[in-house]
Amino acid sequence: MSQAYFQEISDWALTQIQGDEVLLASVAGEATDFIRFNNGAIRQAGSVTQQQLSLTLINGAKQTSGHVQLAADRALDDARVGRMLGQLRDQLQFVSDDPYIAYSTDTSVSADIVAGAVPDSSDVLGSIADASKGRDMVGIYAAGDSFGGFASSLGQRNWFQRSTFNLDWSFYLRDDKAAKNLYAGMDWSDDAFGLKVAESASHLGALDREPVVLKPGAYRSFLTPAAVGELMGLLSWDAFGLQAMETKQTSLLRMVTDGQTMADEVSISEHTGAGVAASFGEFGFARPDKVDLISGGRHSGTLVSARSSRQYGVETNGANTGEQPESLAIAAGSVPTAGVLAELGTGIYVGNLWYTNYSDRTACRTTGLTRFATFWVEGGEIVAPINVMRFDDTIYSLLGEQLVGLTDQSEMMLDAMSYERRSTSSMNMPGALVNEMKFTL
């Protein structure tokens, strides 16, 4: 769907309001090609076109919301939107005044479009097939436009559009021994893809060695940016939002109530300016370039949705309703990225973590497993892969008293998730060298 079409249909919808009603309209959608692989062959391939329009009808302090798929066909869409508006208007009589109602009264107009150079998906098949020859390749290629828009009857108009691709794949040797990689961006390059393939292939030799079986215990460990990102993905559920803070449900509760800290080197932010997500939230509020969440190891800020801003009297920073980050970043540190194996010395090189969750949420004690290219290292040299290990440790230990340092380079990782639609979230993470990481099983 184009910006012009969204403007057309939202303009029409906005003419349907009555009396003192206010209407907010937002759209989120995609036109995505996908190709799913297993054993280097194609398991499923196709295209998905979808665009969900969300309408919030407001009268005084009453509000109701509805969501409807648009067909990008005026005859169909006028009928769908008209029906939904009628339904919302009927519902307004049943709802009470909402003391936490909040919406932007801004009248700004913006368009943020980055077209990129995403190739025809059929053409990419050849490059992927070449890279997969003689290898057990499994994963997915997804590419196309992602877009979002906002319009209000008060005059605001925003549009956001990205054309991106991501190839999220693994080369498998056997059982659970594999090297995972992600090639994502806006401009496909066979050379850049080739480097990624070579990087994955280089891990296969070491993965082919007899695995080391470790006993539970504490080990010096290096967490790659992807592994740090998995930990931050867990914290993103509930750690950073104002509502979670106010209701004592944040997993960083001890930071807030007991003065618990992380290492001075740890600074975490929602860095919208460096990510690929929209710079406006679902109710039209602008997002600042950066919101500091942890600064110098101390709690320093929260993500504030429009609704929380009214309930708790704090200005919104355009966070989504769940107050979850979409462009989370950890500032780089001082451990030389090129020398992490030497810095690790003897210990575990954790390529990826998997299936993280809480062992004790209020203590920010987390658990999860090693996955993919995770190796035992001695004297700064990779010895062999390890069999899967479960860790159980607090973030205050991993990024606090046991943190040796963060790498001097961060890695930008586009989110390959596609629940409901392709994600526009990202993370910018350094690696982390940890003196002792506790493994339990």
Partner 1 sequence: MTMTQPSTIEMLEPRLRDALPSDVSYASIRLVDEAAEYLTVRQDQLEPLQTVTDTGVMVSIWDGGGLGYAATNNLSPEGLAAAVAKARHWAKATADRSILSEPPLSHPVGEYTSPVEVSWDSMSLADRIDLLQQQSRLLGGDNRIVDWEAGLVRRDVDTLLLTSGGGRVEQRFRFVYPNLRATANEGSNTQTRTFGSGAYCGQGGIEVLARFGFGDSASTVAAQAVELLDAPNCPTGTMDVLLAPDQMVLQIHESIGHPLELDRILGDERNYAGTTFVKPDMFGSYQYGSDLLNVTFDPTVSGQLASYGFDDDGSPATKEFLIKDGILVRPLGAAVSQERAGMDGVANARANSWNRPPIDRMANLNVEAGTSTEAELIASVERGVYFHTNNSWSIDDSRNKFQFGSEYGQLIEDGEITGTVRNPSYRGISATFWRNLKGVGNQESVIAMGTPTCGKGELNQSIGTGHASPACLFSNVAVFGGEA
Please report, as residue ranges, which positions from 34 to 53 form the binding site for partner 1 (by CB under 8 A). 34-36, 38-39, 41-52
In whole angstroms, give the CA distance from residue 203 to residue 373: 7
Shortest distance (Å) from residue 374 CB to partner 1: 11
Backbone angles phi, psi at 321, to 5 degrees: -60, -35
Per-residue binding letters, 93-122, with partner 1 (x by CB under 8 A): -xxx-xxx---------------------x
Q: Which is nearer to partner 1, 107 or 247 (CB)?
A: 247
Q: Which is nearer to partner 1, 189 or 357 (CB)?
A: 357
Identity of the amino acid at 123: D
**Which of 162, 180, 203, 220 is in the footprint of partner 1 by CB under 8 A?**
180
Q: Is 435 in the site for partner 1 (CB under 8 A)?
A: no
Shortest distance (Å) from residue 47 CB to partner 1: 5
Q: Is 401 in the site for partner 1 (CB under 8 A)?
A: no
Q: How many residues bind partner 1 (CB under 8 A)?
A: 91
In whole angstroms, give the CA distance from residue 200 to residue 146: 28
Between helix 74-92 and helix 3-14 the angle, nearest 10°, is 40
Per-residue binding letters, 268-307, with partner 1 (x by CB under 8 A): ----------------------------------------
| Contact stretch for partner 1 (CB under 8 A) within 10-18, 248-256, 264-272, 342-350 | 248-256
In whole angstroms, give the CA distance from residue 176 to residue 160: 39
Shortest distance (Å) from residue 10 CB to partner 1: 17
Token match 């390890």: residue?
386
Contact 47/33 with Cβ under 8 angstroms? yes
Shortest distance (Å) from residue 158 CB to partner 1: 20
- Residue 140, judged by CB atoms within 10 A of its CB (0-12, 13-18, 19+), counts as middle
Per-residue binding letters, 345-384, with partner 1 (x by CB under 8 A): ---------xxxxxxxxxx-x-xxx-x-------------
Identity of the amino acid at 430: P
Contact 179/373 with Cβ under 8 angstroms? yes
In whole angstroms, give the CA distance from residue 408 to residue 334: 5
Shortest distance (Å) from residue 356 CB to partner 1: 7
Contact 356/227 with Cβ under 8 angstroms? no
Contact 150/110 with Cβ under 8 angstroms? no
Shortest distance (Å) from residue 290 CB to partner 1: 29
Q: DSSP assignment of 19-75, as one string?
A: TT-EEEEEEEEEEEEEEEEETTEEEEEEEEEEEEEEEEEEETTEEEEEEEE--S-HH
Q: Is 438 in the site for partner 1 (CB under 8 A)?
A: no
- Residues 224, 390, 374, CA angle at the centre, nearest 5°? 35
Q: Which is nearer to partner 1, 74 or 290 (CB)?
A: 74
Q: Which is nearer to partner 1, 13 or 329 (CB)?
A: 13
Shortest distance (Å) from residue 405 CB to partner 1: 25
Contact 326/303 with Cβ under 8 angstroms? no
Shortest distance (Å) from residue 128 CB to partner 1: 10
In whole angstroms, give the CA distance from residue 14 to residue 11: 5
Shortest distance (Å) from residue 76 CB to partner 1: 6
Per-residue binding letters, 120-149, with partner 1 (x by CB under 8 A): --x--x---x------x-xxx-x-------
Q: Is 74 in the site for partner 1 (CB under 8 A)?
A: no
Q: Is 319 in the site for partner 1 (CB under 8 A)?
A: no
Q: Which is nearer to partner 1, 32 or 407 (CB)?
A: 32
